[in-house]
Amino acid sequence: MSLTLPLLAAITAALAWNLERPVYRHKWGHALSFVFGWLVGELAPFVVAVEVLLVLAALAGEGLSGVVDTLSLLVLLISWGVMLRHYSGGGDAALIIEQALCRALGDDYRQRISPALSARFPLAVLPSVLARPFRLDLPEVTRVKDIQYAEEQGIRLCLDIYHRDDMPRGCPVLFQIHGGGWTEKLGSKNEQARPLMNHMAARGWVCVSVDYRLSPTATFPAHIIDCKRALAWVRENVSRWGGDPTFIVATGGSAGGHLSSLLALSANDPAWQPGFEGVDTRVQGCVPFYGVYDFTERSGLKQNRVLFEALESSIMKTPYAAAPDAYAQASPLSRVHADAPPFLVIHGDRDSLCPVAEAKLFARTLAGVSESPVAYAEIPGAQHAFDIFRSLRSELVMHGVERFLAHLHTARLASMRPEQGATDSTGGQLGR
């Protein structure tokens, strides 16, 4: 008897189970749960298609023999159904993020968005987009790579700029901070958030993706200092690519979600702006994805001690017990305040790496004190890093982010005096 079908059935059943019941608490199991949940969850139709071909090839060569093969085929059919249901459930993200925006901005928020911007909102996710999940770049967008913005300790710090080919002027700016556990070789500006940056650049935004020093070579707060230095460089130079230096929104995922939130909540903190204390490092909004919002142990929401161990050994390089104030100051949860910019906090409800409960606590705490809108979207079925490539779930979330950004930009334009000749990034005059 061949083991092909039973082995494939066992593997497929485990993958399907992991989609529904991710591992959170096991020290290393949560990382494996993330990897397989992320890839299978956002690529389920392709996983199923490959497995179907494998099964057909096995049946063509060996046929279906015995009870074990029959049961294996049944397990495969059920597991494939679970995978495809999980993928199609990504369609629920549209309603979830729309409800989040309505709660934070008002049910009529779409009516208050500039028609020049809302006219370009996607009406649906095209099948042609889903058929090419790794098509991250768009032909109408130019990416200028590896522009040096600083050099620290012999390390060249660079950023990439994405802009529409015709380079309109006065474009709002999206400032992207990559994730990767604040750690070398786990992330860079080259692969993260490219669908979002290309999408927004095609809509007339200038998008900037930045590198920063990473641990264990770097010790916090070097990471956030570099991000602020990059923001200072962008504010001074982005107009060369058509960007508006007075309107910048920060975003990032995972460690980038932490750093973008920290950037937005620690504007003009001289302790984190050595040598450029006088530069305005305020941003006009923040969209963190699946971030870490608390380096301390106060909430008790961490599901394992992996983060604390990494912080103590590699990132903060000091025990929490010896420097609780430093850990608190590095936590966005400790820095919420009334003058915070508008936030859209996005997190998956099946995130194995960063607990969704912490994101919920951060959004609730920030909303309780901030005078600006705070939207919180908990995406059903979403694992960590669900937006790295194109899927039904990630595309619908991206469409919601576009509406949030368009609302912020419209409010900005509306606040400008008519005599300033405010224009949107499509070239249409607003306010006249």
- Within 10 Å of residue 324's Cβ, how many Cβ atoms? 14
Tokens, residue 228: 């602020």
Residues facing residue 379 across a β-bridge: 348
Which residue in this structure is represented by tokens 């993020």?
A: 97
- pLDDT of 301 reads 76
The question of whether 384 is a catalytic residue gets the answer yes
CB 236 within 8 A of CB 256: no
Read off the amino acid at residue 154: G
d(Cα 221, Cα 213) in Å, to the nearest integer?
Answer: 10
- pLDDT of 432 reads 22
Residues 227-271 have pLDDT tens digits of 999 999 999 999 999 999 999 999 999 999 999 999 999 999 999
The question of whether 254 is a catalytic residue gets the answer yes
d(Cα 254, Cα 383) in Å, to the nearest integer?
Answer: 11
- pLDDT of 424 reads 53
Alpha helix ranges (H) inside 43-107: 44-62, 66-88, 92-105
Q: What is the DSSP letter of 426?
A: T
Go through the domains of the chain in sequence order and give each one's CATH number: 4-90 (no CATH), 91-420 (3.40.50.1820)
d(Cα 315, Cα 363) in Å, to the nearest integer?
Answer: 25
Candidates 211, 244, 294, 351; catalytic one: 351
The question of whether 88 is a catalytic residue gets the answer no
Q: Radius of gyration of the chain from Cα atoms?
A: 23
- pLDDT of 199 reads 97
End-to-end CA distance of the chain: 78
Candidates 254, 314, 370, 391; catalytic one: 254
Residues 6+ away with beta carbon under 8 Å from 221: 271, 272, 330
Read off the amino acid at residue 332: P
Candidates 30, 384, 399, 409; catalytic one: 384
Residue 332 CA to its chain's centroid (Å)? 16
Residues 400-430 have pLDDT tens digits of 999 999 999 999 988 875 544 444 554 443 3
Collect the ranges in the chain with pLDDT lower than 70: 1, 417-432
Q: What is the DSSP letter of 351?
A: -
Tokens, residue 61: 């060569």
d(Cα 217, Cα 223) in Å, to the nearest integer?
Answer: 11
- pLDDT of 419 reads 44
